[in-house]
Amino acid sequence: MRKIVTEYRVPYADTDQMGVVYYGNYMALFERARNELMRACGYTYKQCEAEGFMLPVVHAEADYKSPAKYDDLLEISAWMQLQKGVRIEIACEVRRKGEEAVLAKGYTRHVFVSTEDFRPCPPPQRFLDSLVEDEISKG
Amino acid sequence: MRKIVTEYRVPYADTDQMGVVYYGNYMALFERARNELMRACGYTYKQCEAEGFMLPVVHAEADYKSPAKYDDLLEISAWMQLQKGVRIEIACEVRRKGEEAVLAKGYTRHVFVSTEDFRPCPPPQRFLDSLVEDEISKG
Amino acid sequence: MRKIVTEYRVPYADTDQMGVVYYGNYMALFERARNELMRACGYTYKQCEAEGFMLPVVHAEADYKSPAKYDDLLEISAWMQLQKGVRIEIACEVRRKGEEAVLAKGYTRHVFVSTEDFRPCPPPQRFLDSLVEDEISKG
Amino acid sequence: MRKIVTEYRVPYADTDQMGVVYYGNYMALFERARNELMRACGYTYKQCEAEGFMLPVVHAEADYKSPAKYDDLLEISAWMQLQKGVRIEIACEVRRKGEEAVLAKGYTRHVFVSTEDFRPCPPPQRFLDSLVEDEISKG
């Protein structure tokens, strides 16, 4: 399965008075990694919307193992852990760069919907193609 | 079980370009409801910290049913769904004021830790007392 | 000049590791007060957009006197300090409820633009009417 | 004067329903550039705090010329525009990578304070040294 890693430097803005990254802010970190996963597939989420598809989040969850802190340089990895019908799940892990320990992990579940009527619809063909191409390229 | 409801008006700041509240921002809504739940118990989280306890989030999850939008007046309810050893789980539901439909629901799992050594510790006696008092007051 | 005051409870989400509300988060507080000012004028920003007008921010500034902290119950006041042509300026002040001292103050400058072509346009007549009504009601 | 440029990819999280980056989120962009400016000086803000100094924001302002949008790759530049006594001002400009047009610009004013008593104090010697070194290296 295709997997990407993207870097992120933690600003003061993300911390809370416990001196760690606020738990809710990991959701935007997950989003950053999802964006880069789609870019790596040659089909950015921006293109996705331009072609009439949206991917709203229907479920999100995260496990917090150890806190990320101000000025940490994080590595956020993402990969698709499920694609079934109109649904897709993207898993994410957050680490400090150069370290093995997972600080937080989780996943988001999305449904492909049409931007016209906001109804569920099959993933765009181009997206499925990019996945197939990926499997071929790894063969 | 004690349950509170708190109101929240959605600002532009919480929305994203899909025209709905960004999925990550619900985590702060859940936090607002948790804060009010503790206040209703007569033991605010601020007091909790002042007495040497913290309640970091170790797990969070949310199901998104229908989007909240700009200027919506929301009602966020919260109640404790589990307390076992050093762990506690607070469940939340988000609705538009005066409507039955749940827009989003989820929960957060917390562990009581000491502010001195950041190690898990039993919940403060005063917190447990407030829970007992609640049960008595409902008896 | 019409002036409104709106309350806001500071969540952990707004704080940073200095133990105070992050300076950037005051911009959303200012927005909350602007929203309530327009509502008090009988013309919410939501209606404003529905009728084809937007009010993007072209300038914002804030002076930070004393920090707001977690769980503070704030009062944010807002009033129009200037309206000239297509421009409008809304001033804001942030205090702890029941206290005189201003924690932060600032203002935002906006330009009325049409949602059709994103070009500057005169404020909607209904908005100007509400201002006139206000002056009459105070006469 | 030393000047740095740092890149930033705009996530959905930063946008609002106008389809642009929310005005308040530029403050965190400015902070990211300030952090990198200090890192380039060989004296990160993290070290600054570790040595007993803090740099709270006492004033911030921004002019918004043209909106940044989702998935834009931004370049944020920062440089010191003033240092006088305990005060320092850092200016910032935001552009799309590879474009000349400034999307937003502004500055923040800070006061050096001691982490012990939160009172204003002269900037740390090491910070002033790094500025002198910079001037020498450019001589």
**DSSP structural state of residue B5:** E
Does the distance separating the beta carbons of B18 and D16 come in below 8 Å? no
Cα Rg, chain D, nearest whole Å: 16
Distance CA C85, CA A54 (A): 39
Chain A contact for D45 (CB, 8 A cutoff): yes
A71 contact residues in D (CB cutoff 8 A): 35, 44-46
Which burial class, exposed, middle or buried, applies to B139 when counting CB atoms under 10 A from its CB (0-12, 13-18, 19+)?
Answer: exposed
- The confidence score (pLDDT) of residue D132 equals 61
C-alpha–C-alpha distance, residues D118 and C93, integer Å:
23
Mean pLDDT, to the nearest integer, of B1-10?
93
CA-to-CA separations, D81 to A1, B5, D3, D34, D108, in angstroms, rounded: 49, 48, 10, 12, 10
Task: Report the pLDDT averaged over residues D4-25.
Answer: 97
**Contact criterion met (CB < 8 Å) for D45 and A71:** yes
Interface of D with A in 48-77 (CB under 8 A): 70-71
CA neighbor of A102 nearest in space, from A13, A12, A29: A29
**Other Cβ atoms closer than 10 A to D54:** 16
Residue spans of alpha helices (H) in chain B: 26-40, 45-50, 125-138
**Cβ separation C27–D23 shorter than 8 A:** yes
What is each CA distance from D131 to C31, D82, D137, D138, in whole angstroms?
A: 38, 12, 10, 11
C29, C67 Cβ separation under 8 angstroms: no
User: Which tokens hold the place of B88?
Assistant: 């506690």
Token pair 């500071």 is at which residue? Answer: C10
Say what the pLDDT of residue D134 is. Answer: 58
| D49 half-sphere exposure, CB direction, 13 A CA radius | 11
> Does A44 sit within 8 Å of D31, measured CB to CB?
no
Query: Quick check: B48 pLDDT over 80?
Result: yes
pLDDT of residue B123: 86
Question: Using the 8-state DSSP alphabet, how is residue B66 labeled?
Answer: S
Smallest Cβ distance to C56: which of D18, D57, D60? Answer: D18
Indicate whether A131 pLDDT > 80.
no
If you ran DSSP here, which 8-state letter would residue B86 be given? Answer: T
Task: Point out the residue among D54, D58, D62 whose CB comes nearest to the CB of C64.
Answer: D58
Q: How far apart are CA A135 and CA D105, in angstroms?
A: 45
Could you tell me which residues come within 8 angstroms of residue D138 by beta carbon, excluding any fewer than 6 positions away? none
Tell me whether residues D57 and C63 touch, CB distance under 8 A.
no
Work out the average pLDDT over B45-58. Answer: 93
- Least confident residue range of A11-20, A78-87, A95-104, C86-95: A78-87
- Kindly list the residues from chain D whose CB atom is less than 8 angstroms away from the CB atom of residue A13: 27-28, 31
pLDDT attached to residue C138? 44
pLDDT number for residue D66 = 97
Which of residues D125 and C8 earns the better pLDDT score?
A: C8
Q: How many other β-carbons are positioned within 10 Å of the β-carbon of residue C16?
A: 23
Q: Strand A113-114 vs strand D53-54: parallel, antiparallel, or unpaired?
A: unpaired
pLDDT, position A137: 46
Question: What is the pLDDT, as a whole number, of residue C107?
Answer: 98
Average pLDDT on A10-32 reads 97
Question: What distance in Å separates the CA atoms of residue A40 and residue A63, rounded to the nearest whole number?
Answer: 26
Give the number of beta-carbon pairs within 8 Å between B and D.
Answer: 30
Query: Catalytic residue numbers of C?
Result: 16
Rounded average pLDDT over A30-49 = 94
The answer to whether the beta carbons of residues B45 and C71 sit under 8 Å apart is yes
Dump pLDDT digits (tens) for C56-68. Answer: 999 999 999 999 9
What is the CA A124 to chain-centroid distance, rounded?
Answer: 18
Is B16 a residue of the active site?
Answer: yes
Work out the pLDDT band at C76, boundaries 50, 70, 90.
very high
Q: Which of B12, B16, B18 to mutate to test the interface with D (most CBs of D within 10 A)?
A: B16
| pLDDT, average across residues D117-128 | 84
Q: C107 contacts in D (CB within 8 Å)? A: none
Cβ neighbours of residue B41 closer than 8 Å, sequence gap 6 or more: B2, B127, B130, B131, B134
pLDDT tens figures, B78-116 = 999 998 999 999 999 999 999 999 999 999 999 999 999
How would residue B118 be classed by pLDDT, with cut points 50, 70 and 90?
Answer: confident
d(CA A97, CA A74): 5
- From chain C, pick out residues whose CB is under 8 angstroms from the CB of B31: 11-13
Q: Give me the amino acid identity at A130.
A: S
Q: How confident is the model at residue A139 (pLDDT cuts 50, 70, 90)?
A: very low
User: Which residues lie below 8 Å from residue C41, measured CB to CB, with a gap of 6+?
Assistant: C2, C127, C130, C131, C134
d(C-alpha B105, C-alpha C122), whole Å: 43
User: How confident is residue D138, by pLDDT bands cut at 50, 70 and 90?
Assistant: very low
Q: What is the pLDDT of residues C23-63, one digit of tens each?
A: 999 999 999 999 999 999 888 999 999 999 999 999 999 99
